Structure 1
């Protein structure tokens, strides 16, 4: 029987995600260097896959603990946009299914824009419900950024299609009569909060890209309103625009 081509083996390896497959043992006996190189690449991919599985398992512990207490609709809540000099603060509330198995979900700040977009689409497809809350620059100036972030989270919670029975929140407590858990660095420790951080980040970044067309010269499409060199240069050259937060330095010093 004619041996499989190296190209065929490489293609098949892309579809194998377990070490138990008998074909792996057969190919390990193949003396062709191309086959052995393909197996090394497969091994690296499997190690990454196993690491991602272990990370997902670790990030589901808060959800599993809540379910062990009898809770079923568990929502993760997070916000983005506390630090920028312009634009709104955006929060997301995400209820994931119990058997959620999307690999790669993590704190949105650790992910590339491309990866965030990919995960955002999958979260949209798999989530039981997603709520969005947004508080604009004017209200941020009126009530301060901490209260604005809290308000955005509350709006996101109310925007859900279902009333959850347990809240997992990134470093915040909400004034609602639902059992809740405030988790420091929750976006890196809870899969539900991480999913919320990704959704909120993608929505806010896309909004800031739209604002960049309305208010060019500040680089909003690149910096999402944060105080980068490009943004600060724009402020010096053009002054403030309609979406700048007037209670934030250096903007408040320019009024």
Structure 2
């Protein structure tokens, strides 16, 4: 199990407890909607490598991996099996695996105006940072795994970071973060599609499909569109915000 390589297997290394977290984001490519990040972490009060192995082995059997490799049904089923019935934004979801181990998941999002201001890469990193900072314990030593090749702009004397290329398919914690973020964002875009019909967000989640691009040309640009993205900026430069009323 990949995540175990980041543990010092000597129990005395963590006399006051320890945490390990995985961060990932979804929604870098869409033309509309926020970029969404999640941090999934486990906090261990008393170090017990057997109990940690047992939890990770259980997760491994669930098929946790890169959310893009799973169907919507599979993603929902994985969350259900770890007792996640619903997931929202800006609220830490806490699950007790045992008296000794607690699981936390936090979703954060950064919306189109900020994406346009700082660019999508920086927005993705910032969303992951927010999720990590708000959910990881400041009083415990820990390891933070970030999907991709860049670390977060964050420093803490007790916390280490590791950037993991293709981490969502290697690390169970990053994979779980990926799944949580994907489930939340897909549902969000379905909900938004009712307010902004015609763009097909209930199916394309804001990504640049043929239908979505054609709809932008027909209906115009909404305040949820990313104005610096190709396919949006051209229409916005010509018309600004505009929508055909009768759709």
Q: Same fold (TM over 0.5)?
A: yes
> Radius of gyration: which is bigger?
1
Alignment of 1:49-128 (within 5 A): 60-61=1-2, 63-68=3-8, 70=13, 72-96=18-42, 98=52, 99-100=54-55, 101-102=58-59, 103-123=62-82, 124=84, 128=103
Which residue among 201, 209, 233 is the counterpart of 2:214?
A: 233
| TM-aligned CA deviation for residue 128 of structure 1 | 1.1
SS of aligned partner of 2:145 = strand
> After TM superposition, what 4+ stretches of structure 1 lie above 6 angstroms from structure 2?
none
Which structure carries more strand by proportion? Answer: 2
Residue of structure 1 in register with 2:123 after alignment: 148
| TM-aligned CA deviation for residue 68 of structure 1 | 2.4
Alignment of 1:187-198 (within 5 A): 187-198=168-179
Q: How far apart are the structure 1 equivalents of 2:39 and 2:194?
A: 28
Residue of structure 2 in register with 1:169 after alignment: 146
| TM-aligned CA deviation for residue 161 of structure 1 | 5.8
Q: TM-score, normalised by structure 1?
A: 0.72
Which structure carries more helix by proportion? Answer: 1
CA contact (8 A) 1:120 1:202 kept: no
Q: How many residues align?
A: 195
Q: How far apart are the structure 2 equivalents of 1:94 and 1:66?
A: 15
Deviations 1:152-203, CA, capped at 9 Å, x for gaps: 0011012316346110110130122221110100001111100000000011
SS of aligned partner of 1:199 = helix
CA contact (8 A) 2:31 2:207 kept: yes
CA contact (8 A) 1:117 1:202 kept: yes
Deviations 1:83-130, CA, capped at 9 Å, x for gaps: 000000000000147232122111000000011111123343556111
Taking only aligned residues, the RMSD between alpha carbons, in angstroms, comes to 1.7
Q: How far apart are the structure 1 equivalents of 2:214 and 2:81?
A: 37
Q: How far apart are the structure 1 equivalents of 2:199 and 2:176?
A: 29
SS of aligned partner of 2:144 = strand
Give 5+ residue unaligned stretches, structure 2.
44-51, 85-94, 238-247
